[in-house]
Structure formats: C-alpha cells, structure tokens
C-alpha cells in the first residue's frame, strides 16, 4: 500500500513539473500578447538622443513585462532609420533595465494570491537592483565602445531555426486567444495561467525546510557565485527568455531551494545570455549595424558583471541585499521604490 502511494505521488510530481513549465511559458506568452498593445504608442513617441531612447526601452519593458519585444522594436526603428545607432543601443539597454520587473510582478501576484510571504517581493527587488547596477554602467561602457568602433569588424551568423521553438509551440494557441479576447482580457488570462503554473510547480517540488538535510545538500551545491552565474547563463540560453529564467526564481525561493544571495549571480548570468535571441534577430532585422549594437550590449554587461564578480562581489552583494531589505521593510518604503523605478524612466523619456 505504501509503495503504491509513493508511486502515485512520484508520478504526480513527475508530470507536474513539465506541466507546470508548459503552463508557465504559455502564461508569459499570453501576458506578453496582452501587454504589447501599448507598444505601438511607445513606438510613436519621438525619442531623440540616447537618454530619451533609454527611457523608451525601459518603460516599454515594464508595460510588456518582457524586454525582447521592446528590444526588437528598437532594432526595427534602427533599420527603418528612426533611431541612430546610439539611440538603438540605449533603447535595447533600457529594455533590459525593465525586463526584470516580471520577477517583482510574479512575486506580487503570489503575495496577493494568498501567500502573504514577502520573499517573492524581495527576490523581485534583488533582481531589479542587480540589473540596474550592472546594466547602467554597461550602457555607458557600450556607448564608449560604439563611439570608437571597437566591435565594428565582428560578424556572426546564428544557426537557423534555433530561436523559433517557443513561437512554434505557443504561437497558434496564443494567437487564438488573442483573436477571441481584447488585450486586457488576454493579459488577465495570462495572470490566471501563471497562478495555475505555480500551483503545479508546488506539487512537483517537495518543500524543504531550512535546516533540513535535503535543504542543506541543495544549498551546498548551488551556493557558489560561479555556479549560480553559470546556471543563470545556461537556463536563459536554453529558454531564450530572461522573463522565464528569472521568474522561476520566485517559486524556487518560496519553496526553500534558493537563498536571496544566490539570486544575484544568477541574475547577472541571465542578463548576459538573454541577448541571444535579440542578437540573432538583429541579423535578420538590421544586418551589421544592428548586430553590432546588440553584441556591444552583451559584451558590456559581461564586462561589468565579471568585474564585480572578480573584484568586489562580497561588498556588492551585501549592499544589494541590505538595500533590498530596506525597500521591502514596510509598505511605505516599497511604495517609494515602486514610484522611483517608474518615475526615473518616465523622466528620461521626457527630457
């Protein structure tokens, strides 16, 4: 009897994991489809100069809960002559500044969904702070590189068909839902599917309590900064979406698999390989100039992240975790943080 019960539970977990992942990606695609209704409005704005373009990309990523469509808009505007190379670079960089907002949004959804647990919010704040403090300096470094043409001679052709897997699998059902419902309801449907995916993840992942042998074994394997950095690179490269790879941090953290300090190097790695799809898309959309823009973004973020990891990681991690703790300490500081991260790109866009 016990063996049958164990077998049934194991089978449930075995099926729940891929089922949760499939629903999870489907939810993000629905959310993206519902939110991108705002992108044409942003595209119509007259972004003049890198500062405006940075705010344009940043706010666009907030509205779409994904950096990839906004980055594609930036590259398309470069191809059409609406943006200069520097402006397109800033727009793509801004899209990455806002892409991590999906983690905070997912944590907030779970918080409102009955898990009154601030850990999900903390993970989102840590992801945003890590992105801000690496992508910001990387934008300045990238603009210098573009000015001096350091990467103008670099060329690369990605393997054909490698970047279409998600679109092939989810394109038809998302298009069907999008055709039946207005954008707002598509967005709401995505939130509902997101909650369902997390419910399946809960069934797939056994709960580990802090201090238990299982918890300590997993933490020991993932505790190194380089292990988590490599994990962030690998997961994002496989999923071709920083939204997917970063949002996975929320249920894993709530289940006790990850500590807050492990999120920092993971986000650094994810923010590098997230450019893979944009890099390939740049070749198809904009040729050499667009490719140079995205490659410069990727290498600039890599350089800044590597410098932090090699030279000042311990002090950097303490600063990020300390600031995140203050931000989520109470509703007032959290509200100020939310207001600031929306006001800054809005001001940049209007300058």
Element (H, E) at 47: none
Task: Please report the pLDDT score of residue 213 as a whole number.
Answer: 53
pTM: 0.74
For residue 125, being part of any structural domain is answered with: yes
Whether residue 93 lies inside any domain: the answer is yes
Q: What's the pLDDT tens digit per position in 38-68?
A: 556 555 665 578 998 899 889 888 887 777 7
Cβ atoms of 50 and 297 closer than 8 Å: no
Burial class (CB in 10 A: 0-12, 13-18, 19+), 142: buried
How far is 206 from 86, CA to CA, in rounded Å? 48
In a domain, residue 3? The reply is no
Inside any domain, residue 277: yes
Measured in whole angstroms, the distance separating CA 320 from the mean position of its chain's CA atoms is 18
Q: Distance between CA atoms of 271 and 286, rounded to whole angstroms?
A: 22
Least trusted range by pLDDT, from 127-131, 140-144, 242-246: 242-246
| Contact between residue 86 and residue 146 where contact means Cβ atoms under 8 Å apart | yes
Neighbours of 176 (CB within 10 A): 10
Tell me, yes or no, whether 242 lies in a domain.
Answer: yes
DSSP 8-state class, residue 158: P
> Span 329-343, mean pLDDT?
89
Instruction: Give me the domain span that covers residue 133.
Output: 13-350
Choose the most confident range, by mean pLDDT, from 16-20, 161-165, 323-327.
Answer: 323-327
What is the tally of helices (H) and strands (E) in the chain?
17, 0
How far apart are the C-alpha atoms of 351 and 321, rounded to whole Å? 32
* C-alpha dihedral (221, 226, 229, 230), degrees to nearest 10: -80
Chain centre distance of CA 189: 20
Task: Report the share of the chain in percent with pLDDT over 70.
Answer: 69
243 within some domain: yes
| Range in 149-153, 252-256, 292-296, 321-325 with the lowest mean pLDDT | 252-256
Cα 277 from chain centroid?
A: 13
Contact predicate 137/304, CB 8 Å: yes
Cα 298 to Cα 292: distance, rounded to the nearest angstrom? 10
- Tell how far CA 1 is from the center of its chain: 45
Number of domains in the chain: 1
pLDDT in tens, 90-140: 989 999 899 888 777 776 766 665 555 566 678 888 989 999 999 999 999
Assess if residue 328 is contained within a domain. yes
The predicted pLDDT at position 114 comes to: 52
pLDDT in tens, 3-38: 554 454 545 555 566 777 777 778 767 766 776 655
Instruction: Please answer whether residues 270 and 238 qualify as being in contact, where contact means their C-beta atoms are separated by less than 8 angstroms.
Output: no
Q: Flag whether 333 is in a domain.
A: yes
Mean pLDDT, to the nearest integer, of 145-167?
69
Residue 184 burial by Cβ neighbours in a 10 Å radius (0-12, 13-18, 19+): exposed
Q: Using CA atoms, how far apart are residues 265 and 253, in angstroms rounded to an integer?
A: 15
For the segment 310-323, the average pLDDT, to the nearest whole number, is 96
Residue 125 burial (C-beta neighbours within 10 Å; 0-12, 13-18, 19+): buried
How far is 271 from 306, CA to CA, in rounded Å? 12
Which range among 52-56, 282-286, 304-308 has the greatest average pLDDT?
304-308
């Amino acid at each position: 009897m016990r063996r049958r019960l164990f077998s049934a539970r194991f089978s449930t977990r075995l099926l729940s994991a891929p089922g949760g992942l499939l629903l999870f990606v489907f939810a993000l695609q629905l959310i993206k489809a519902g939110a991108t209704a705002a992108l044409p409005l942003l595209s119509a704005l007259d972004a003049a100069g890198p500062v405006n373009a940075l705010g344009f990309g940043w706010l666009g990523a907030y509205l779409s809960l994904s950096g990839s469509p906004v980055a594609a808009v930036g590259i398309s505007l470069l191809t059409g002559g609406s943006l200069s190379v520097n402006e397109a670079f800033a727009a793509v960089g801004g899209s990455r500044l806002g892409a991590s907002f999906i983690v905070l949004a997912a944590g907030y959804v779970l918080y409102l969904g009955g898990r009154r647990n601030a850990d999900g919010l903390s993970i989102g704040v840590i992801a945003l702070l890590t992105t801000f403090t690496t992508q910001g300096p990387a934008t300045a470094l990238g603009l210098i590189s573009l000015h001096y043409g350091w990467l103008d001679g670099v060329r690369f052709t990605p393997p054909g068909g490698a970047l279409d897997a998600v679109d092939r699998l989810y394109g038809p059902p998302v298009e069907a839902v999008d055709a039946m419902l207005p954008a707002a309801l598509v967005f709401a449907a995505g939130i509902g599917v997101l909650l369902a995916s997390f419910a399946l993840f809960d069934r797939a992942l056994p709960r580990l309590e802090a201090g238990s042998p299982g918890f300590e074994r997993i933490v020991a394997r993932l505790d190194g900064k380089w292990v988590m950095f490599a994990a962030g690179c690998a997961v994002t490269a496989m999923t071709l979406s920083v939204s997917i790879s970063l949002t996975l941090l929320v249920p894993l953290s709530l289940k006790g698999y990850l500590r807050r300090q492990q999120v920092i190097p993971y986000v650094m790695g994810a923010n590098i390989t997230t450019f893979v799809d944009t890099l390939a898309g740049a070749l198809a959309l904009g040729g050499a100039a667009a490719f140079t823009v995205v490659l410069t973004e990727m290498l600039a973020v890599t350089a800044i992240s590597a410098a932090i990891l090699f030279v000042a990681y311990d002090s950097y991690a303490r600063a990020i975790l300390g600031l995140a703790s203050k931000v989520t300490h109470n509703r007032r500081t959290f509200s100020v943080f939310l207001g600031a991260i929306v006001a800054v790109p809005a001001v940049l866009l209007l300058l």
